[in-house]
Every structure is written in C-alpha cells, then in structure tokens.
Amino acid sequence: MPRPSLRPLLARGRTLVAPGVFDMISTHMANQHPFEAHYMTGFGVVASHLGLPDAGLASYTEMVDRAQRIAAVAKAPLIADADTGYGGLLNIRHTVRGYEAAGVAAIQIEDQEFPKKCGHTPGRRVVPLAEAVRRIEVAVDSRSSADTLIIARTDARTALGLDEALRRAEAFAKAGADVLFVESPESEAEMETIGRHFHQPLLANMVNGGKTPLLPRARLAELGYQIAIWPAAGFLAVAAALDGSYRALNATGTTEGSGVAMYDFTAFCDILGFPAVHAFEKRWAE
C-alpha cells in the first residue's frame, strides 16, 4: 500500500522540500531530518546501482526493486521517478501498479522519447502531445488509490520552447495529473511565468549545476511551487566527500588530516539498526 498521501500536505500551501535519495544510506540519512517527502532520483539510482548515466538504461524491474527498498525505510512519503513508464501504455499501467504496490506515494511520468535522458542534459526529444497525454491518462487510470499522486513532467522547454511546455502541462492537467512538472526552465522569470499560468500544484526541480536557478523554499512558494525536489544534493555531496577522503588516503596512507568530515561511526551503526541486533543476540545467542 502507498505511504500516507501527500495531498493534505500540498493542501496546506507550504512548499515541500524533498531531498534526493538514491540508496539505503542516503535514505537513512534523510530520515535523520524532518523532511515531509523524499525523492527517489532516477539519475542517482542508476548511477549508484548500475554505475551508468541516466539515459534509459535501467529497467522497470531494477527501478521498482529500488523503489520498494527505499519506500520501506523512508520515514516520509516517497516521490519516485518512473521515467517514461519503461515502454508502451501497457508498461505504464504495470509501472504505476508496481510502484504503488512498492509503497510510492507519488509517481513521476514524463513525455520524453525512449530512451530518455536526464532533464538537464542536451539532446532530449519529446513524443507527440497526443501520445504524451495518453501516457498520463493511463497512469491516472491505473492507480488503485486516489491518494497516489501522478506527477506529469514535460521536457519540451529545452527543444521546443516554454510556450509548448506550458501547452503540454495544460493538457496533462486536463488528463488528470495531480502535479505538473515543467522541466528545466532557464530563468527565474520563466519560473514565475509557469507559476502564474497554473492553479494545480507545481514541482520545481532544483538540480545543483543544472539549467534552472536554485531558489530557497520561500521564493519558490512566492512563485507558486508546492514541491521542490533536490535530486543531486545527496549524490554530489557524497561524491565530493569520497573524492577528498580517497585522495588523502592515496596520497598519505591515512584519512587523518584530509579535511573531510567523518560521520561518527557509533552513531552510524545506531542508524543502521545495530542496537537491535545486539539486543537480539543478548536474548537469544548468549
């Protein structure tokens, strides 16, 4: 069953900030902070799980397995990237049902051609509007609970311009999408235009190093966005920390003096559940 719905949270009018989670460690660490939602980033999952670029190389089976594992640990409702639905319309139905059964609270479907690409990289192409609308109609019809949100994403801005992206988002709203996601606007003015254009909940994609300006929660709320995902905040921070730690270890043979902050080992063991293991062993094995 899906996690508690995001609907009542969105109805409050306060912008939700969702960190990108991509594996179990990042999910455990996100749990240490009172986020109201988590975002399973496709880019991060594909990089972490397969070591490959976000270019349509991960299968539905691989992604739904990750979604189930992350949703089982996440303390906040999980928003999950489902790419284009991993195939045709029947695949989209299967994807929505599978993600919902895995415990995902909101499922993101986009209008790119297959294989898709990361929304802040070049060369993205979108399918014809009628095909894109049908994807959203099928996704909405396939969920078993109205509390499971369908997020409709358009990547039309980069190749076809903002007006076409707005037209597609309008059509997705009419098709029943719960949240609209106009990917990669390139200025704050464009984001303001998007915010004025719609009354439905909007999602902003805050990608460190991406095309869209990074804005704080308060400014996003002023612009009309109800959800802000930060998909790269976790894996880019982890990559920087690993690079610094491993660089020092290779150069000096020790991590001492590397300048990289280390999480307390005992506290990390506690997060992973070692106290419960020790309690079990004390009761049954000793």
pLDDT, tens digit (0-9, with 9 covering 90-100), for 182-241: 999 999 999 999 999 999 999 999 999 999 999 999 999 999 999 999 999 999 999 999
The mean per-residue pLDDT over the stretch 155-172 comes to 96
The per-residue pLDDT for 271 is 96
At 62, which amino acid appears? E
Domains along the sequence of the chain with CATH: 7-238 (3.20.20.60)
Average pLDDT of the chain to the nearest whole number: 94
The per-residue pLDDT for 119 is 59
pLDDT band at 1 (very low <50, low <70, confident <90, very high): very low
The per-residue pLDDT for 116 is 80
pLDDT band at 2 (very low <50, low <70, confident <90, very high): very low
CA distance 21 to 230: 9
Structure tokens of 164? 């076409």
The mean per-residue pLDDT over the stretch 170-188 comes to 97
Name 40's bridge partners: 21, 80
The per-residue pLDDT for 3 is 61
How many CA atoms within 13 Å lie on the side-chain side of 165? Answer: 26
The per-residue pLDDT for 211 is 93
| Farthest CA pair distance, the chain | 69
The per-residue pLDDT for 203 is 98
pLDDT, tens digit (0-9, with 9 covering 90-100), for 106-128: 999 999 988 787 757 777 899 99
The per-residue pLDDT for 5 is 83
Supply angle C-alpha 111, 204, 90, rounded to 5. Answer: 25
pLDDT, tens digit (0-9, with 9 covering 90-100), for 235-247: 999 999 999 999 9
CA distance 174 to 172: 5
pTM for the whole thing?
0.95
Which residues are CB-neighbours of 214 under 8 A, at least 6 positions away? 206, 208
